[in-house]
């Protein structure tokens, strides 16, 4: 018998009144994944790692990987640190026609079906079916109907089930993937509008979406699909842009979260929960937003640490020609190809330059895997490991890491200093999702 998917177990525990949720770490960055897996080793627990359809697809995405490549990539990182593959749930975010949204619906959906089939065949165990966007020949002046969204979602779900049956033929113990649906899906990478414009999903819209999916799935002969659909994406009132964050307000979300109580077999998935405080994240999990997804905040934390290390390098490496020039190389690559940031950053030249470096949407993450940028990062680590970082300089630029190094719980190696910034972000999510989580050596749950 196949092992039950741990995400389904999470829903079952919540039905019994047990506080639990799960962070979903949406990143394809090597250093980020390494930090997440190392932190998961603390309690020998499962971890969800996801890639978006823009990052990974049959055409390569911006990571130049297909789904099988992404799985191999994550497992190679796990092997390097001794983390069991069985503890990793690999997922796909926004799987659907998003990368081909400018194409006619027939072509875009054919591409989307190929993508989800490859994802299931590769071993993805959490799949977000996102068919919420308009496609090339959809009417521009009409709202995309729930029925159309659900019909496209049902087609992709059916393709996933067909691929899973092929896996079962080869391995009768193959774990069944679980699915997330939803028509109110925040765009990947943060809001381009004012954060004050964020509106909580209305309960009637959430329930209308569920009705549409149930109806269409029954028509497709997929009436049992909701055994494997565990969550629906809604907008609970959390969002971030380049310059600010809209914090969760459980009062504003009360009606939406109360409406979920009528449907105990599903939970909400919160996209764009980046930069929420630990307290707000925990409130979200308590209120039914049990899958809390984070992406850009992870690479933002990494970028923040790398910039701090580069500033220390400027202080400690007198010969400028020997420095990594990490910040300058990253900036040069972003200017060389503005594809991934230009439409996201508004204002005068100075304002745009500041957003490129420090904007919460962290469009720099699209450039960190480039060979020149990755080489600069490795040179930065090497340079700092060849000198002793004075404690005063470490305190100045990395006060959190300074405390850990001072107390002997963190290595002063540059790579470890950088990863700790990511770990600090991961800890916020683990604290929110788990009972009596040991944060920094002390129980605060």
Q: How many residues does the chain have?
A: 445
For residue 145, give the DSSP letter.
Answer: P
Q: What span, in angstroms and rounded, lies between the C-alpha atoms of 188 and 21?
A: 21
Instruction: Report which of 305, 319, 314, 198 is spatially closest to residue 256, judged by C-alpha positions.
Output: 198
Residue 30 in 3-state DSSP? helix
**Confidence at residue 438, expressed as pLDDT on a 0 to 100 scale:** 56
**Confidence at residue 435, expressed as pLDDT on a 0 to 100 scale:** 76
For 120-254, list the strands marked E by DSSP: 126-129, 178-181, 229-234, 239-240, 245-246
**Confidence at residue 3, expressed as pLDDT on a 0 to 100 scale:** 83
- Could you write out the DSSP letters of every residue in 35-52? HHHHHHTTTT--EEEEEE
Who's near 3: CB < 8 A, 6+ residues apart? 173, 175
Question: How far out from the chain centre does Cα 18 lie?
Answer: 25
Mean pLDDT per 10-residue section of the chain, whose length is 445 residues: 88 92 95 96 88 95 95 98 96 96 97 98 98 94 92 97 96 96 66 64 94 94 93 95 94 97 96 95 97 97 98 97 98 97 94 96 94 98 97 97 96 98 95 74 35
DSSP run (H or E) holding 393: helix 391-397
Residue 361 burial (C-beta neighbours within 10 Å; 0-12, 13-18, 19+): buried
Residue 385 burial (C-beta neighbours within 10 Å; 0-12, 13-18, 19+): middle
**Two structure tokens written together for 348:** 């005068």
Taking 3-state DSSP, the helix, strand and coil percentages for the chain, each rounded to the nearest 5, stand at 50, 10, 35
**Confidence at residue 436, expressed as pLDDT on a 0 to 100 scale:** 67
Instruction: Report which of 166, 154, 155, 78 is spatially closest to residue 123, judged by C-alpha positions.
Output: 166
């Amino acid at each position: 018998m196949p092992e039950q998917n741990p995400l389904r177990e999470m829903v079952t525990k919540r039905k019994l009144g047990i506080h639990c949720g799960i962070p979903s770490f949406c990143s394809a960055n090597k250093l980020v994944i390494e930090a997440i897996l190392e932190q998961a080793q603390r309690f020998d627990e499962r971890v969800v790692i996801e890639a978006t359809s823009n990052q990974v697809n049959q055409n390569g995405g911006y990571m130049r990987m297909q789904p099988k490549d992404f799985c191999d990539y994550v497992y190679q990182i796990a092997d390097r640190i001794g983390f069991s593959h069985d503890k990793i749930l690999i997922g796909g975010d926004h799987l659907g026609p998003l990368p081909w949204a400018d194409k006619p619906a027939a072509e875009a959906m054919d591409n989307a079906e190929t993508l989800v089939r490859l994802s299931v065949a590769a071993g993805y165990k959490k799949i977000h079916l996102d068919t919420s966007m308009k496609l090339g020949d959809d009417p521009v002046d009409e709202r995309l109907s729930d029925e159309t969204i659900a019909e496209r979602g049902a087609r992709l779900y059916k393709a996933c089930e067909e691929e899973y049956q092929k896996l079962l033929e080869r391995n009768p113990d193959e774990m069944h993937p679980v699915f997330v649906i939803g028509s109110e899906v925040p765009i990947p990478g943060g809001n381009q509008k004012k954060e004050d414009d964020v509106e909580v999903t209305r309960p009637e819209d959430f329930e209308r979406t569920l009705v549409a999916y149930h109806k269409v799935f029954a028509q497709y002969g997929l009436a049992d699909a909701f055994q494997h659909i565990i969550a629906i994406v809604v907008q609970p009132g959390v969002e971030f842009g380049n310059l600010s964050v809209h914090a969760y307000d459980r009062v504003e979300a009360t009606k939406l979260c109360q409406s979920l109580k009528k449907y105990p077999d599903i939970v909400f998935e919160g996209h764009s929960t980046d930069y929420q405080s630990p307290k707000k994240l925990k409130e979200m999990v308590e209120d039914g937003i049990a899958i809390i997804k984070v992406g850009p905040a992870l690479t933002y934390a990494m970028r923040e640490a790398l910039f701090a290390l580069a500033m220390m390098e400027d202080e400690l490496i007198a010969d400028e020609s020997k420095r990594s020039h990490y910040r300058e190389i990253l900036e040069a690559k972003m200017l060389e190809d503005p594809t991934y940031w230009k439409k996201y950053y508004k204002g005068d030249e100075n304002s745009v330059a500041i957003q490129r470096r420090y904007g919460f949407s962290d469009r720099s993450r699209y450039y960190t895997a480039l060979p020149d940028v990755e080489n600069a990062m490795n040179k930065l680590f090497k340079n700092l490991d060849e000198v002793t970082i004075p404690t005063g300089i470490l305190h100045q630029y990395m006060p959190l890491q300074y405390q850990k190094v001072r107390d002997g719980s963190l290595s002063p190696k540059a790579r470890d200093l950088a990863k700790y910034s990511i770990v600090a972000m991961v800890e916020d999510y683990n604290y929110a999702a788990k009972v009596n989580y040991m944060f920094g050596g002390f129980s605060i749950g």
